[in-house]
Homo-oligomer: A and B are copies of this chain.
Amino acid sequence: MSALSLALKSTCKCPMVFAQRIAVPCHRQKVNRRFAHQQKYVPRRAMLYVPGDSEKKIHKISTLDVDCAVMDCEDGVALNKKKEARETIASVLSEGKYDFGRTERGVRCNQVTSGFAEDDFKVLFGAKVVPDLLLVPKVDTVDEMEWIADKLKVYLGERQMGAPLNLIFQIESAIGLINLHQIILKGLEKSEDGVFHLTGIMFGSDDFCANIGASRTLDAYELTYVRQKIVVHAKAYNLQAIDMVQINFKDLNALREQSLQGSRMGFTGKQVIHPNQVAVVQTAFSPSEEQIQWATEMIEAFNEHQKSGKGAFVFRGVMIDMPSVLQARNIVQLVQELDLIPPKQI
């Protein structure tokens, strides 16, 4: 694929601001520049929930080639199994019993206001080995983000870590959506302190529907506002945006359609609740062969036209100028970021 490498090379030479997957001009990156240089892009096209109280299911993670596994202490665990879940996760990580391979090791604690969260933190972050990623459900207020930072400081204590803990929070209520911007700003402020690294926002669709009394059809038209608002807020601050779950895990065609819809909206990944959903979702959130070819050829054509002093030009019947080129560069960059994990053909 020499056209691709050519395109990549030429974008690097370009004097214009380089377009990232989430293209953010320099003056906007201030808030989390500190981590931008430390961290490589971690793809989370699929984030798979695994009940934290099932060592058997945790064991199975390594066979699934999933970007991120979330060992759950919250809704996937019965009330009388909360203790078992957090202790199982802590011991599995600390004893290094299983090889998770390239899969990011995440945990989901219980809601800050549930009465379970502090025990989750105590056990999970007091263990010998801590997870790569913390997912916090149902974050509704700025105070809860403050609480997360305070408690992580307490329980991670003086521990030396190579990189700060990745943090993603879930928006699952109307009030959470209203407070979203303030929660993000607080999370970025706390990220500056270095206890955690806010890396994404996740949409918890089913709790959100319960909260506002909505029910969703297959195309989820009812959730247009919330999904698109979350994407805009995530991308404004260089964060990943993780789309809703498809709980009907047997209908893979519906899953594919919904995944592609989310990807087109700007989501970077999706929650899954069954191993069979992983491959479909990870493919849907990867550029297709056609897209890669379109992008590389168009960037080449653009570079040629720039040299000859032409700003706008026609490519495959469409008028191309800078914005289209930025979109092509997004694709090329994502291919680079995913290059160790080529999408499976389904």
Contacts and interface: CB of A to CB of B under 8 A. Distances in A.
Interface string A4-29: 00000000000110010111110110
A231 B206 contact: no
A65 to B, nearest CB: 21
Interface stretch (A92-100, A155-163, A186-194, A266-274): A266-274
B322 A222 contact: no
Contacts of A228: 222, 224-226
A209 interface: yes
A79 B207 contact: no
A174 interface: yes
Given A228-B226, A311-B75, A323 B23 contact: no
A34 interface: no
Contacts of A268: 213
A283 B213 CA distance: 16
B79 A330 contact: no
Interface string A133-148: 0000000100000000
Nearest to A305: B78
B214 A312 contact: no
Contacts of A231: 174, 212, 214
A161 B175 CA distance: 32
A80 to B, nearest CB: 6
B174 A209 contact: no
B232 A174 contact: yes
A49 B317 CA distance: 18
A310 interface: yes
Given A78-B305, A319-B273, A264 B326 contact: no
Contact of A309 (B81, B113, B229, B237): B81
A22 B265 CA distance: 28
A273 B51 CA distance: 51
A321 interface: yes
Contact of A312 (B51, B181, B211, B319): B51
Interface residues of A, number: 87
Nearest to A215: B264
A235 B229 CA distance: 17
Nearest to A213: B266
Nearest to A230: B225
Interface of A: 15-16, 19, 21-25, 27-28, 49, 51, 53, 72, 74-81, 113, 140, 172-175, 177-178, 181, 204-207, 209-217, 221-222, 224-226, 228-229, 231-233, 235-237, 247-250, 263-266, 268, 273-274, 305-306, 308-312, 317-324, 326-327, 329-330
Q: Which 7 A-B pairs have the closest CB atoms?
A: A206-B323, A225-B228, A210-B326, A174-B236, A75-B322, A214-B266, A212-B266
18 contacts: A15-B79, A21-B213, A23-B173, A76-B312, A77-B311, A78-B310, A81-B311, A178-B233, A210-B323, A210-B327, A211-B235, A213-B268, A214-B265, A224-B224, A224-B228, A247-B319, A273-B312, A274-B319
